[in-house]
Amino acid sequence: VSDDRGVGSRLAHGGEVLDAALAEIVERFRPVRTGDVASYIPELEHVDPDTFGIALCSPRGHVYAAGDDGLEFTVQSTSKAFAYALAVTDVGVDEVGRHVGFEPSGDAFNAISLDAVGRPDNPMINAGAIVTTSLIRGADADERFDRLRSFMSRCAGRDLGVDEHVFRSELATGDRNRALGYLTRASGSLVGEVADATATYFRQCSILVTVRDLAVMGATLANNGVNPITGDAVVTSSVAQTTLAVMTTCGMYDYSGEWMVRVGLPAKSGVGGGIVAVKPGQFGVGVFSPRLDERGNSVRGVRVLEHLSSDLDLHLMAHARSAHSAVAQSWLDDLGAHVALVGELDFVAAEDLVVALETLFDGPLPAGSTLELDFSRVTVIRPTAERVLAARRARLTAAGVHVVVIDPGGVVAGHETAAGERLVG
């Protein structure tokens, strides 16, 4: 299965392996038929309960999929993560935080989970999501919705539509959400009119997506806010990070704690049966299967992601640190000492370098010697590594060592350290 959005369709090699793995997962979990489709929004009952699809999008923009990967369903609560990202982009994390908290509620998605000052516990439950939507910039409910729909479309890389039947069905029956709107408006959390906020919220929940869309939307968050297919920088890396953090602690309703133990990925589920999960830096996953467990999470979706996480070793807390040293080569010759570094330099990589420098001469580099540091194959230097390197360079220079930096890619030059000293003088 190749994606039709552009870059993804370039994929040839390797693609069939993941497509086949996903197809196998779909067949493996297809017999699971426990749970019921959501019925409290009458129109949601009309979905075929046995539909099932999965897609995965890499940060290179390749999409792999299996099952009903082209089937549209309503995004429901998975929209909450994206509404939050837009609100944080619009007014900043602190201002959003004055209206909606950051703490897992441990309650059901539609519970009255308000803290001591009447602020919803977090933006991933209904109370918090309705408030979040009210914070999105716009002259009225229509403009706020248009901005959110276009924002989510940019995350997905295609224009997303709305299921008007589901919207009307929820608008007609959503008294509990309106009640949450009034409670949060009374405490000063919700901004503007309740009817406006809930109408925008019901419409955002009725946006139509496929598992491919969810995978790309997740990959946009995984990829520092840049849609990996269109290259569109939809949010800043800091907004992506904040959104993923809240998804990690609060995204799976009152299953969020156990989810973190068993799956260990930021995720958001919706009562339509969709789940978006993210492996930061690696990929976004979308799963759809409309039968829900008692918490409102897709039964197959949870099972599939538990399986994927352990099978592909994705748990956030599992750290498979590569055995490769950042020091690709180090040698001595008549010109002095040479060290070539490779990859992304973090604290551990900087430590590798320091150790290599000390062992090269069986002791400190002698005064008057030259040290050539080659950064040509370094991709990024993280701030901690920058500081370690700057401190080491200062010590070497003070000891009379002449440090020469090779940096054709400019990864080093211009990076100021916290102390204001530069790695290269």
Residue 167 CA: distances (Å) to CA of 98, 123, 172, 203, 232: 29, 20, 9, 5, 29
Among 26, 111, 131, 205, interactor with ligand GLU by CB under 6 A = 205
* 235-244: burial string, b at 16+ Cβ within 10 Å, e else: beeebbebbb
Q: Which residue, 203 or 279, has its beta carbon nearer to ligand GLU? A: 203
User: Cβ(269)–Cβ(77) under 8 Å?
Assistant: yes
Among 3, 68, 163, 170, interactor with ligand GLU by CB under 6 A = 170
Among candidate residues 271, 342, 401, 403, the one labeled active-site is: 271
How many CB atoms sit inside 10 A of residue 365's CB? 21
Q: Which residue, 198 or 309, has its beta carbon nearer to ligand GLU? A: 198
121 in contact with ligand GLU (CB under 6 A):
no
Residues 363-392 that bind ligand GLU (CB under 6 A): none
SS3 120: strand
Among 56, 69, 76, 381, interactor with ligand GLU by CB under 6 A = 76
User: Cβ(69)–Cβ(286) under 8 Å?
Assistant: no
169 in contact with ligand GLU (CB under 6 A):
no
Q: Which residue, 292 or 389, has its beta carbon nearer to ligand GLU? A: 292
The DSSP string of 27-61 is: HHHTT---SB---SSGGGGGS-TT--EEEEE-TTS
Residues 129-158 that bind ligand GLU (CB under 6 A): none
User: Rounded distance, CA 110 to CA 177, Å?
Assistant: 7
Q: How far is the CB of 80 from ligand GLU (least distance, A)?
A: 8
Q: How far is the CB of 78 from ligand GLU (least distance, A)?
A: 7
Could you tell me the maximum CA-CA distance found in the chain, to the nearest angstrom? 83
204 in contact with ligand GLU (CB under 6 A):
no
Among 388, 338, 330, 337, which Cα is nearest to 366's? 337
Contacts with ligand GLU by CB under 6 A: the residue count is: 11
222 in contact with ligand GLU (CB under 6 A):
no
Among 29, 52, 73, 109, interactor with ligand GLU by CB under 6 A = 109
Among candidate residues 64, 84, 253, 255, the one labeled active-site is: 253
How many CB atoms sit inside 10 A of residue 71's CB? 17
Residue 62 CA: distances (Å) to CA of 30, 225, 229: 25, 16, 8
**Could you say which DSSP state residue 237 is in?**
H
89 in contact with ligand GLU (CB under 6 A):
no
Q: How far is the CB of 394 from ligand GLU (least distance, A)?
A: 54
Residue 80 designated active-site: yes
Among 8, 270, 273, 301, interactor with ligand GLU by CB under 6 A = 270
Residue 49 CA: distances (Å) to CA of 36, 164, 285: 8, 20, 21
126 in contact with ligand GLU (CB under 6 A):
yes
Among 47, 59, 77, 216, interactor with ligand GLU by CB under 6 A = 77
| Amino acid occupying residue 250 | C
Q: Which residue, 77 or 224, has its beta carbon nearer to ligand GLU? A: 77
210 in contact with ligand GLU (CB under 6 A):
no
| Run of H or E including 232 | none
Q: How far is the CB of 271 from ligand GLU (least distance, A)?
A: 4
Residues in contact with ligand GLU by the rule CB under 6 A = 76-77, 109-110, 126, 170, 177, 205, 270-271, 296
Catalytically active residues are 77, 80, 201, 253, 271
